[in-house]
């Protein structure tokens, strides 16, 4: 007998007025109108002995403090601890900066909590099925590197009694920045267009979550600029880039969705495990060289970053630490697993191989966004994902330098070792 329930709701979180955005490191980050509305999508899953909330939010990713606050608020509504609430940020670079707009953050939290209450009201017994489509809409940012997680994870949810389509959940692993730094309009970027296109096709809610896309750029882009993450002949400039991406997703997912046969779910499980990793503080000479390189390559102003490096060194701080929460949501063998960092696609591929489970999706931007997390190979290459991005995002991430080189292997092993069925205490 099926004993799993699911409830869903969607709430508009579009700001009413011009607001500061975050995502491009521009001098002027004020928005200029709305291209498409932003949404928070909430799904609640319940069995006889477990309840968990999965929310997808159109935002680049909260600070850990804001993420924990909202998770606790949701947990209070559901009478569950924080680890039973997973926030998946779509990582749109055209959404508000909640850190500089407390009124907007308060509004967003209110809308999400209202959505949680609505989802609780429409809980129903459900069947589910999952599968993978494969797509070429993402390209590795490093020219000459072909490593990409091509999987589009698909979860189809239907009513257990009437077989009505209740929800299609997708997992995409592509940076959500088809729109570049010359776009000043509020937008969920191509994730929003994917939702619109598939909702029109299937007449049901479509929820899109972000994967391990730290080094994966969208194949199509819409901009008059020549951005550093779309600067070679592999990338396609297009006035219809948002729709180009969405149509490619529809083309690849449609036959897989048609083949799925939902059935009863046996188990759901949501839990977290924590690991502490470390980041070195550079010498001032090393920091000055990085700041000079970033200014020449990308026009990034590292003045505040250099000041913070100097402050840490004066205080005899040569290492910073970061406690990383690894959160899991299992629906039988289908698993969404995440950390707050911008992890590279290799993280997801390696964990999936270790677990021998193509339906295990390790992703970033979960419960917050705390900066790029490079692989060992990426670490050795330096550049934007390793150093330069820290120069203007350090104030949100709580550290000034990337995690130590061996941290990638440590995290990958940790994630696999604590997956359901691999750990003695689960």
Give the pLDDT of residue 426: 35
Give the residue-averaged pLDDT of 166-188. Answer: 98
Average pLDDT in the chain: 95
Which residues sit opposite 105 in a β-bridge? Answer: none
Give the pLDDT of residue 383: 87
Give the residue-averaged pLDDT of 261-270. Answer: 95
Give the residue-averaged pLDDT of 385-397. Answer: 87
State both tokens at 292.
């000079």
- Percent of the chain having pLDDT more than 90? 88
237-250 per-position pLDDT tens digit: 999 999 999 999 99
Asked if pLDDT for residue 286 goes beyond 60, the answer is yes
Cα 229 versus chain centre, distance = 18
Asked if pLDDT for residue 154 goes beyond 80, the answer is yes
Give the pLDDT of residue 118: 98
Tracing tokens 């979180």 back to the chain, one arrives at 13
Work out the angle at residue 346's Cα, subtended by the Cα atoms of residues 142 and 183, and round it to the nearest 5 degrees.
50
CA distance 343 to 137: 18
- State pTM to two decimals: 0.94
Give the residue-averaged pLDDT of 356-362. Answer: 98
Asked if pLDDT for residue 422 goes beyond 70, the answer is no
Give the residue-averaged pLDDT of 152-165. Answer: 96
Better pLDDT: 378 or 71:
71
Assign 424 a pLDDT band (cuts: 50, 70, 90). Answer: very low
Give the residue-averaged pLDDT of 206-226. Answer: 97
76-124 per-position pLDDT tens digit: 999 999 999 999 999 999 999 999 999 999 999 999 999 999 999 999 9
Give the pLDDT of residue 425: 41
To 10 degrees, the CA torsion angle through 90, 25, 140, 274?
-60
């Amino acid at each position: 007998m099926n004993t799993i329930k699911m409830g869903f709701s969607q709430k508009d979180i579009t700001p009413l007025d011009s607001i500061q955005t975050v995502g491009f490191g521009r001098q002027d980050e004020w928005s200029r109108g709305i291209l498409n509305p932003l949404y928070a999508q909430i799904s609640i899953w319940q069995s006889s002995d477990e309840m968990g909330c999965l929310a997808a939010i159109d935002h680049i990713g909260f600070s850990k403090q804001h993420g924990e606050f909202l998770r606790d608020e949701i947990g209070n509504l559901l009478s569950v601890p924080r680890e039973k609430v997973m926030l998946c940020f779509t990582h749109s670079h055209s959404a508000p900066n909640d850190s500089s707009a407390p009124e907007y953050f308060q509004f967003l939290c209110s809308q999400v909590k209202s959505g949680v209450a609505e989802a609780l009201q429409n809980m129903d017994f459900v069947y589910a099925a999952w599968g993978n489509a494969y797509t070429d809409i993402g390209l590795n940012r490093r020219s000459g590197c072909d490593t990409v997680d091509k999987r589009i994870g698909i979860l189809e949810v239907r009513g257990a009694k009437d077989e009505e389509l209740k929800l299609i959940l997708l997992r995409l692993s592509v940076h959500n920045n088809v729109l570049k730094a010359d776009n000043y309009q509020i937008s969920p970027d191509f994730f929003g267009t994917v939702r619109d296109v598939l909702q029109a096709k299937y007449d049901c809610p479509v929820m899109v979550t972000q994967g391990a896309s730290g080094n994966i750029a969208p194949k199509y882009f819409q901009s008059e600029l020549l951005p550093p993450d779309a600067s070679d002949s592999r990338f396609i400039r297009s006035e219809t880039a948002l729709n180009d991406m969405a149509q490619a997703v529809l083309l690849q997912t449609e036959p897989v969705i048609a083949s799925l046969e939902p059935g009863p779910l046996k188990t759901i499980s949501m839990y977290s495990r924590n690991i502490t990793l470390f980041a070195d503080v550079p010498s001032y000479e090393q920091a000055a060289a990085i700041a000079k390189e970033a200014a020449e390559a990308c026009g990034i102003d590292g003045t505040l970053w250099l000041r913070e490096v100097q402050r840490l060194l004066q205080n005899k701080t040569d290492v910073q630490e970061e406690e990383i929460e690894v959160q899991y949501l299992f629906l039988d063998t289908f698993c969404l697993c995440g950390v707050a960092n911008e992890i590279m696609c290799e993280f997801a591929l390696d964990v999936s191989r270790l677990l021998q489970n193509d339906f295990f999706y390790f992703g970033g931007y979960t419960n917050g966004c705390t900066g790029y997390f490079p692989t060992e190979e990426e670490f050795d290459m330096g550049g934007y994902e390793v150093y330069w991005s820290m120069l203007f995002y350090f104030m949100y991430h709580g550290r000034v330098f990337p995690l130590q080189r061996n941290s990638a292997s440590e995290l990958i092993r940790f994630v696999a070792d604590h997956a359901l069925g691999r750990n003695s205490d689960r």
